Amino acid sequence: MKKSWIVPLVCTFALFVLIGLTVKSLWGNERTKVFVVLEGLDSEYWKIVESGAKKAFNDLNIDGKVLTPDSIIPTKEKLLKNVLQQNPDALIVTPHNPSPIIPILTEYKENNIPVLFLDTEADWNDKTSYIGTDNPALGKKAGELLGSMLQPGDKIALIGGTSQNADERIKGAKETLEAAGIITVTEQFDHVDDIAEVRSVMSNILNMKMNQTNSDIKGVFATFDTLALKVLQITEEKGLKIPVVGADGSMDMVKAIEAETLTATVTQNPYDMGYLSVEHALKAIKGETVEKTIDSGIDIITKDNAKEKLDFLEQILIQD
């Protein structure tokens, strides 16, 4: 009789285990799925964006993934089609080259999947929101910063790539600087990561004479930190001590400020950009109102706050 208890007991235990596993499985499947599709993760900037997004995934209990094109899925178009097949609840994407991807994003819209743009704005009326830097405002702030180190009549160079973000930053900086009586020379080119081309462009700019005078370039605004650091290297090679202002807040740029090689710079907030995009994607999924434009903010980094910024960046990147 005592042994007759064993079979029902084992069956009951097995039933409870099965129910527990089923509930756990169902709970897992109910987690919100958000995909973030970036340009790549081979730069510090995008790694910081990724870190912010992952922090939001964890804080908000989201089943999230950060993806980029790779050797298996080599283009963003194919990657977006692959993500669509996984039935996400929302998509966050960087539309750096919008034309090829808009038809695919339209399919997301037709499937009632919110699409949020990150880092770069693009002309597509059906996007839920743009989360990123107000690039004209960043340009104006950079112009104010650079202008505060100069005098009316001084000549400065505005240099950057041929992208929408660069265009908007240069336009904002030019507006502010010229209003302060500072003469601007604008140069935009394709290969801003090529030190040889940057050196060629800067050599041409530094040798220019405005209005037949002998005035030299007194400062430079570069639309990205990677470019600003190359400019700094070239000006140092030429023995020039002129202010160089960048626009991303990379570790090397902040280190240069802490070492007093540079006076100050303007920074984006890529970590906040990543976090806010996920946070507002969740709001969109829940049917809550999401603003069409969400500004992730800009900061001025000087000697006074460089160490704090550097500690924050090191913590993020080491953690990843």
Please tell me whether residues 140 and 159 are part of one structural domain.
yes
- Per-residue pLDDT, 88: 97
- Per-residue pLDDT, 277: 98
Please tell me whether residues 196 and 223 are part of one structural domain.
yes
Please tell me whether residues 93 and 215 are part of one structural domain.
no
Q: Give the end of a domain, one of 267, 285, 309.
A: 267
Q: Give the end of a domain, one of 249, 267, 285.
A: 267
The tally of CA atoms less than 13 A away on the side-chain side of residue 196 is 0
Please tell me whether residues 153 and 38 are part of one structural domain.
no
Three-class secondary structure of residue 170 per DSSP: helix
Instruction: Let me know if residue 15 belongs to a domain.
Output: no
Token output for 211: 């209005």
Please tell me whether residues 83 and 60 are part of one structural domain.
yes
279 neighbors 247 (Cβ within 8 angstroms): no
Name the nearest CA neighbour of 287 among 130, 114, 132.
114
Please tell me whether residues 146 and 257 are part of one structural domain.
yes
Please tell me whether residues 231 and 281 are part of one structural domain.
no
- 116's CB contacts (< 8 A; 6+ apart) are 90, 91, 92, 93, 127, 128, 129, 130, 131, 277, 280, 281, 284, 290
Instruction: Let me know if residue 26 belongs to a domain.
Output: no
User: What CATH number has the domain bearing residue 110?
Assistant: 3.40.50.2300
Please tell me whether residues 259 and 214 are part of one structural domain.
yes
Please tell me whether residues 109 and 144 are part of one structural domain.
no
List 244's β-bridge partners, or say none.
220
Instruction: Let me know if residue 16 belongs to a domain.
Output: no
Helix (H) or strand (E) holding 131: strand 129-132
- Per-residue pLDDT, 203: 86
The whole-angstrom separation of Cα 124 and Cα 147 is: 35
Residue-by-residue pLDDT tens, the chain, 320 positions = 445 555 454 444 444 444 444 433 333 457 899 999 998 888 899 999 999 999 999 999 999 999 999 878 889 999 999 999 999 999 999 998 899 999 999 999 999 999 999 999 999 999 999 999 999 999 999 999 999 999 999 999 999 998 889 999 999 999 999 999 999 999 999 888 899 999 999 988 887 654 444 448 899 999 999 899 999 999 988 888 899 999 888 899 999 999 988 888 899 999 999 999 999 999 999 999 999 999 999 999 999 999 999 999 998 887 65
**How many domains is the chain built from?**
2
Instruction: Let me know if residue 21 belongs to a domain.
Output: no
Please tell me whether residues 54 and 200 are part of one structural domain.
no
Instruction: Let me know if residue 317 belongs to a domain.
Output: no
Q: Which domain holds residue 113?
A: 31-133+270-296
- If you ran DSSP here, which 8-state letter would residue 248 be given? S
Please tell me whether residues 116 and 162 are part of one structural domain.
no
The tally of CA atoms less than 13 A away on the side-chain side of residue 231 is 32
List 220's β-bridge partners, or say none.
157, 244
- Per-residue pLDDT, 319: 63
Please tell me whether residues 36 and 140 are part of one structural domain.
no
Name the nearest CA neighbour of 243 among 169, 119, 155.
155
